[in-house]
Amino acid sequence: MKILAQEIRDVVIIRDSKYGGHFGPNLGIVETTIALHYVFESPKDKFVFDVSHQTYPHKMLTGRKIAILGLGTFYHLAEKVADLYKEKTGIDITVVNSMYITGIDTDLMEDLRMNHGIIVTLEDGILNGGFGEKIASYFGNSSITVLNYGLKKEFIDRYNIKEVLKDNRLDEDLILEDLLEY
């Protein structure tokens, strides 16, 4: 336990030194978090922390807490976001190439349910009635947070595609900003 605790502390110090953050709460709860994971079955058993600044060791121990489902051409955006998140936090994100909008792979969804707390959908179509809504509906009564990114249902005449994507938060930096909130 001492070696694991020191490794977690080293990552927290390096990360917070580079990007800023709250050293104290994360460093002060390392052994407690390790003990909780030893005694209880995460993610089946849920943990409640006093403040979100204490959750980084938990996120490190649970690993791939976030999954991004990239539909069609947005799979590459999902990979970019995952790389940026890893660079910024040291935590990997699961990236899934959702090649088909019709139907839901329920086996995959159940696997994601067991190991993830946040599911992100990226789609190149309209959000209303789209792929993201199907995923959100699937996880509707669970504790999983679903963040859907796509286009608003509106007519756009003569547009700059980069501006449209940015207005709909379909930009790697904006998605990363949102994920860092969780």
Region 12-31: mean pLDDT is 76
pLDDT tier at 119, thresholds 50, 70, 90 = very high
Please state whether beta strands 66-71 and 118-126 pair in parallel, antiparallel, or not at all (unpaired). Answer: parallel
Res. 173: pLDDT tops 90: yes
Contact at 8 Å (CB) between 29 and 4?
no
pLDDT tier at 57, thresholds 50, 70, 90 = confident
Collapsed DSSP state (helix, strand, coil) of residue 51: coil
CA 123 to chain centroid, in Å, comes to: 16
pLDDT at 100: 67
Res. 64: pLDDT tops 60: no
Q: What does the alpha-carbon distance between residue 97 and residue 74 come to, in Å, rounded to a whole number?
A: 9
pLDDT tier at 43, thresholds 50, 70, 90 = low
Region 164-178: mean pLDDT is 91
The angle that helices 2-19 and 30-39 make with each other, rounded to 10 degrees, is 130
The better pLDDT of the pair 54, 75 is held by 75
Q: What does the alpha-carbon distance between residue 70 and residue 135 come to, in Å, rounded to a whole number?
A: 12
Exposure letters 136-152 (e unless 16+ CB within 10 A, then b): bebbeeeebebbbbbbe
Q: Which pLDDT tens digit goes with each residue over 87-113?
A: 888 788 999 998 766 678 888 898 888
Q: What does the alpha-carbon distance between residue 53 and residue 70 come to, in Å, rounded to a whole number?
A: 29
Quick one: DSSP state of residue 20? -
If residue 124 lies in a helix (H) or strand (E), which one and from where to where?
Answer: strand 118-126
